[in-house]
Amino acid sequence: MAHESIDDLHHDALKDVARRLRADLPDLVDETEARLHREQPEVIARIDSALLREGIAATHRGFAALLDELAGGGSGASDGLGPGPAGTRHVAFAAAASRAGVGLDALLAGYRTGAQVGWTHVERYVAEGEVPSAAVMAMATASLRYVDVLTADSFEGFARQAEAAGGARARERQALLAALLGGDGDEALAPLATAARWPVPERLAVAVLLGPARGTEPDGDAVLLGHGDGARVAVVAEAGTAELLATGVALALGPPVPARQAALSLARARRLAALVVAGHLPAGRPLRWEDHLAALVVHADAAAGAALRAARLAPLDGLPDARRTMLTETLAAWLDHPGRPTEIAAALHLHPQTVRYRLGRLRAFFGDALDDPSARFELVLALRAAA
């Protein structure tokens, strides 16, 4: 029998069962709904009654259509309930159930309940008439196949709803982010915060995300992610800044400010990010604005920094690159440890006598500037700007 075609499985019996299922549809719907109320009352309470009954009816009609398809008398796809792309109603029903807060497991359990109710009617039809065993086996196989179809359609419906919800949530959060960066007041922010499910804290900080490093993506619940001023940004409550930095994600975090000054925090974060892009600060790790104030000051005006470098380090112009680098390193160490050759030697891993020779050369190049506090300060800035 395993190799017999469906023509040998008594099409008339399958068609008769399908016909009787459609005739008994009101009873099937009532019985299924009653069982669901008894077995899953907390789930049923979430779904609109009319939608529930239509979903039950569509499920039973779909099985009858599948039996017609097996008998060669019709196509389950023609009813919009068959396997594959035709099961659009069940996909839509699953999406609606997901929106109502019904879990996937609960929905599939409901479908199993409907299958059990339908099968009790099939068993009665079999007992009342002479249904060939081959037709019974075909119906049992069809029932299992139909449950697989419903499961696949349910997964698709839940996936579609999750995607739609994710897109809607992203839009709602972007709207809130735009309002924050635009300096909107509490009256405008309140409904946006409710829709985005992200309470606006009194004080917050804005970070510019520079790409993944060794860390993980910031928590989408604790952090407001989106785009602002052409950058991918994250807004976090002041109390959550340490946790954000601990993720290890490469970012430039602006200072904490009152919520209405979020744009100021972003502007400072962008300035810090620009120093990373320019190579003045290390990349691939989280940076905090407050920790790099000197670099921000030194590089605040690129033209002024370049002019300062040119003016103060001019005595070293024309030297071979290796000699210029050697004397520049020695100058930086001397500015860190003025008048202390032994400490300079330790910092440069050199013999003190070598350091004394180099300091003599620096004296020859820079003269009295090494003794002038203002000139030394400018030398420090020039070296920082050149770093």
- The pair of three-digit structure tokens given for residue 198, joined into one six-digit string: 């992200």
**Short-list 69, 52, 49, CA closest to 111:** 52
Q: What is the mean pLDDT of residues 155-167?
A: 73
pLDDT band at 217 (very low <50, low <70, confident <90, very high): low
pLDDT for 15: 87
pLDDT for 8: 52
pLDDT band at 92 (very low <50, low <70, confident <90, very high): confident
Q: What is the pLDDT of residues 175-184, one digit of tens each?
A: 888 999 998 8
Q: What is the pLDDT of residues 32-65, one digit of tens each?
A: 999 998 988 887 888 888 888 888 888 888 888 8
pTM equals 0.51
- Pairing of β 286-288 and β 250-253: parallel
Mean pLDDT over the full length of the chain: 82
Q: What is the mean pLDDT of residues 332-348?
A: 82
pLDDT for 213: 46
pLDDT for 165: 59
Q: What is the pLDDT of residues 254-290, one digit of tens each?
A: 999 999 999 999 999 999 998 888 888 888 889 999 9
* Angle of CA points 98, 99, 105, to nearest 5°: 15
Query: What is residue 205's three-state secondary structure?
Result: strand
Residue with the bigger pLDDT between 79 and 48: it is 48
pLDDT for 77: 40
**CB-based contact 80:25 (threshold 8 Å):** no
Looking at the chain, the number of H-run helices and the number of E-run strands are 16, 6
What burial class does residue 282 get, using C-beta atoms within 10 Å of its C-beta: 0-12 exposed, 13-18 middle, 19+ buried? exposed
Q: What is the mean pLDDT of residues 322-332?
A: 84
Q: What is the mean pLDDT of residues 152-162?
A: 80
pLDDT for 215: 52
pLDDT for 206: 95
**Domain 6-165: CATH class, spelled out:** mainly alpha
**Short-list 216, 259, 211, CA closest to 235:** 259
Q: What is the mean pLDDT of residues 308-337?
A: 82
- C-alpha span between 117 and 64 (Å, rounded): 13
* Residue 374 pLDDT exceeds 90: no
pLDDT band at 166 (very low <50, low <70, confident <90, very high): low
What residue ranges do the domains of the chain occupy? 6-165, 201-298, 302-386
pLDDT for 80: 39
Query: What is residue 131's three-state secondary structure?
Result: coil
